[in-house]
A and B are shown apart, each in its own frame.
Chain A
Amino acid sequence: MALVLTEEQQLLRDTATQFFQERLPIANLRKLRDTKDATGFDRAIWKEMSDLGFAGIMISEKYGGTDFGPVGLGLVLEQAGRTLAASPLVSTVLLCGSAVQLAGNATQRQDILSAIAAGDRIMALALEEGPHHNPTHIATRAEADGNAFKITGKKTFVLDGHVADQLIVAARTSGNENDRAGITLFLVDPKSEGVKITRTLMVDSRNAADISFDNVSVPATAVLGSVDGGIDVLEQVLDIARIGISAEMLGLVQEVFDTTLAYLKERKQFGKVIGSFQALQHRMATQFAEIELCRSVVLDALSALEARRNDVPLIASLAKARLSDTATVMTNEGLQMHGGMGMTDQFDVGLFMKRARVATASFGDGNFHRDRYASLEGY
Chain B
Amino acid sequence: MEALEKFRQETRAWLEENCPPSMRTPMTSEDETVWGGRNAKYANPEAKLWLDRMAERGWTAPTWPAAYGGGGLTKEENQVLQQEMRRIKARPPLSSFGIWMLGPALLEFANEEQKKEHLPKIVRGEIRWCQGYSEPGAGSDLAGLQTKCEDKGDHYLVNGQKIWTSYADKADWIFCLVRTDPTKKHDGISFLLFDMATPGVEARPISMISGASPFCETFFTDVKVPKGNLVGELNKGWTIAKRLLQHEREMISGMGLGGAGSGAGLGGLEQAAKDYYGEQNGRVASPSLRDHITRQKMDGKAFALTMQRSAEEAKAGQGPGAASSIFKYYGTELNKRRFELLLEIMGTKGLGWEGEGFTGDEITVIRSWLRSKGNSIEGGTSEVQLNVVSKRVLGLPD
Q: Once the chains are docked, how many angstroms separate the CA of A297 from the CA of B329?
A: 19
- Verify B322–A296 contact, CB threshold 8 A: no
Q: Return the CB mask of B362-398 against A: 1 if under 8 Å, else 0.
A: 0000000000000000000001001101100111111
Q: Is B291 an interface residue (CB 8 A)?
A: yes
* Count of residues in B whose CB is under 8 Å from the partner chain: 42
B288 to chain A, nearest CB (A): 11
When A281-B386, A281-B387 are in contact, do A292 and B322 touch as well, CB less than 8 Å? yes
Q: Is B68 an interface residue (CB 8 A)?
A: no
Q: Return the CB mask of A1-45 against B: 1 if under 8 Å, else 0.
A: 111100000000000000000000000000000000000000000
Q: Is A132 an interface residue (CB 8 A)?
A: no
Q: Once the chains are docked, how many angstroms separate the CA of A300 from the CA of B290?
A: 24
- Verify A273–B302 contact, CB threshold 8 A: no
Q: Return the CB mask of A282-323 against B: 1 if under 8 Å, else 0.
A: 101110110011111101100000000000000000100110
Residues from chain B with a CB closer than 8 A to the CB of A111 are: none
Q: Is B306 an interface residue (CB 8 A)?
A: yes
Query: Closest A-chain residue to B273, C-beta based?
Result: A379
Q: Is A244 an interface residue (CB 8 A)?
A: no
Q: Once the chains are docked, how many angstroms separate the CA of A323 from the CA of B299?
A: 12
Q: Once the chains are docked, how many angstroms separate the CA of A4 from the CA of B318?
A: 9
Q: Is B312 an interface residue (CB 8 A)?
A: yes
Q: Is B184 an interface residue (CB 8 A)?
A: no
Cβ-defined partner of B306 (8 Å) among A264, A292, A375: A292
When A285-B390, A373-B294, A377-B297 are in contact, do A3 and B383 touch as well, CB less than 8 Å? no
Q: Once the chains are docked, how many angstroms separate the CA of A299 from the CA of B310?
A: 12
Q: Is A276 an interface residue (CB 8 A)?
A: yes
Cβ-defined partner of A284 (8 Å) among B283, B318, B394: B394
A317 to chain B, nearest CB (A): 8
- Verify B308–A1 contact, CB threshold 8 A: yes
Residues from chain A with a CB closer than 8 A to the CB of B326 are: 285, 288-289, 292
Q: Is A370 an interface residue (CB 8 A)?
A: yes
B301 to chain A, nearest CB (A): 6
Q: Once the chains are docked, how many angstroms separate the CA of A299 from the CA of B313?
A: 13
Query: Closest B-chain residue to A325, C-beta based?
Result: B295
Residues from chain B with a CB closer than 8 A to the CB of A272 are: 397
Residues from chain A with a CB closer than 8 A to the CB of B283 are: 374-375, 379
Cβ-defined partner of B309 (8 Å) among A3, A285, A373, A374: A3
Q: Once the chains are docked, how many angstroms separate the CA of A321 from the CA of B294?
A: 10
B283 to chain A, nearest CB (A): 6
- Verify A4–B313 contact, CB threshold 8 A: yes
Residues from chain B with a CB closer than 8 A to the CB of A296 are: 302, 305-306, 308-309, 323
B165 to chain A, nearest CB (A): 29
Q: Once the chains are docked, how many angstroms separate the CA of A48 from the CA of B329?
A: 45
Q: Once the chains are docked, how many angstroms separate the CA of A318 from the CA of B303?
A: 12
Q: Once the chains are docked, how many angstroms separate the CA of A315 from the CA of B115?
A: 46
- Verify A265–B301 contact, CB threshold 8 A: no
When A284-B390, A285-B386, A370-B291 are in contact, do A297 and B396 touch as well, CB less than 8 Å? no
- Verify B389–A289 contact, CB threshold 8 A: yes
Q: Is A275 an interface residue (CB 8 A)?
A: yes
- Verify B290–A318 contact, CB threshold 8 A: no
When A1-B308, A3-B308, A282-B383 are in contact, do A276 and B294 touch as well, CB less than 8 Å? no
Q: Once the chains are docked, how many angstroms separate the CA of A265 from the CA of B391?
A: 12
When A275-B397, A276-B396 are in contact, do A377 and B323 touch as well, CB less than 8 Å? no
Q: Is A378 an interface residue (CB 8 A)?
A: yes
Query: Closest B-chain residue to A277, C-beta based?
Result: B396
Q: Return the CB mask of A142-184 against B: 1 if under 8 Å, else 0.
A: 0000000000000000000000000000000000000000000
When A379-B274, A379-B290 are in contact, do A281 and B306 touch as well, CB less than 8 Å? no
- Verify A377–B270 contact, CB threshold 8 A: yes
When A281-B387, A379-B284 are in contact, do A288 and B393 touch as well, CB less than 8 Å? yes
- Verify A286–B386 contact, CB threshold 8 A: yes
- Verify B308–A289 contact, CB threshold 8 A: no
- Verify B309–A282 contact, CB threshold 8 A: no
- What are 19 residue pairs bridging A and B, where the CB atoms are less than 8 Å apart in the complex? A3-B309, A4-B312, A272-B397, A276-B396, A278-B390, A281-B386, A281-B394, A282-B386, A284-B394, A285-B329, A288-B389, A289-B329, A293-B299, A296-B308, A297-B301, A299-B309, A318-B302, A367-B291, A374-B290
User: Knowing that A322-B302, A374-B294 are A-B contacts, what are 19 other residue pairs whose CB atoms are under 8 Å apart, sorted by A's residue number?
Assistant: A1-B308, A3-B309, A4-B309, A4-B313, A261-B394, A282-B387, A285-B329, A285-B386, A285-B394, A288-B389, A292-B322, A293-B302, A297-B301, A300-B305, A370-B291, A377-B270, A378-B270, A379-B273, A379-B284
